[in-house]
Amino acid sequence: MDQDRELARRAAAGDAAAFTALVRSHEGAVRRFLSRLTRGEGADDLAQEVFLKAWRTAGSYRGEGAYRGWLMQIAWTAFLTSHRAKGRRQARDQASFEEDGGAAHDPDARIDLERALASLGDRERAAALLCFGEGCSHSEAAEIMRLPLGTLKSILARARAALTARLEMAHE
């Protein structure tokens, strides 16, 4: 983490090599998060946008939290912005997914859960991915999503309930 801060400080001073080292450390997590949020659609382009924004605004990272958390915050904002632009199309995709019955009878629990995750609302999906997938604490996830801690906890509780239902269905 101290190494990230040092690299971030150098990146803010215009050191592209330091920034590349940060990209190398965190691209996997950022792309995974965006890929699961967007269900793979345009995730890499969005990830590129996130890293370019991180480069342009490198000076605004104050080193108060984890660098990865700061990147995830940019990723979440970028996702929301792009999602608003594609809102109607995604709503249609969601409707067609639900009409297909999701994957309620898929024998593979992991695939079933991934599909259950895909059927959650954006905020529930992001909260579940951050807390269960990326190991963020509730307060870190709340900061990334710019939500009050209580709101994050209730969103996460809804996500947990939906995912648990799928998990139990898969166990039966």
Binding of residue 158 to other proteins (CB under 8 A): no
Binding of residue 55 to other proteins (CB under 8 A): yes
Closer to other proteins by CB, 24 or 88: give it.
Answer: 24
Binding of residue 47 to other proteins (CB under 8 A): yes
Residue from 1, 3, 13, 52 binding other proteins (CB under 8 A)? 52
The site that binds other proteins (CB under 8 A) totals a number of residues, namely 34
Closer to other proteins by CB, 82 or 162: give it.
Answer: 162
Quick one: which segment of 21-29, 79-87, 89-97, 142-150 binds other proteins (CB under 8 A)? 21-29
Closer to other proteins by CB, 95 or 149: give it.
Answer: 149
119: CB partners within 8 A, 6+ apart: 94, 97, 98, 102, 162
Report in angstroms how near the CB of residue 87 gets to other proteins at its nearest.
Answer: 26
CA distances to 16, 56, 83, 91 from 52, in Å: 11, 6, 19, 28
Residue from 12, 46, 75, 117 binding other proteins (CB under 8 A)? 117
CA 17 to chain centre: 26
Residues found near other proteins in the complex (CB under 8 A): 14, 16, 19-20, 23-25, 27-29, 31-32, 44, 47-48, 51-52, 55-56, 109-110, 113, 117, 128-129, 131-135, 160, 163-164, 167
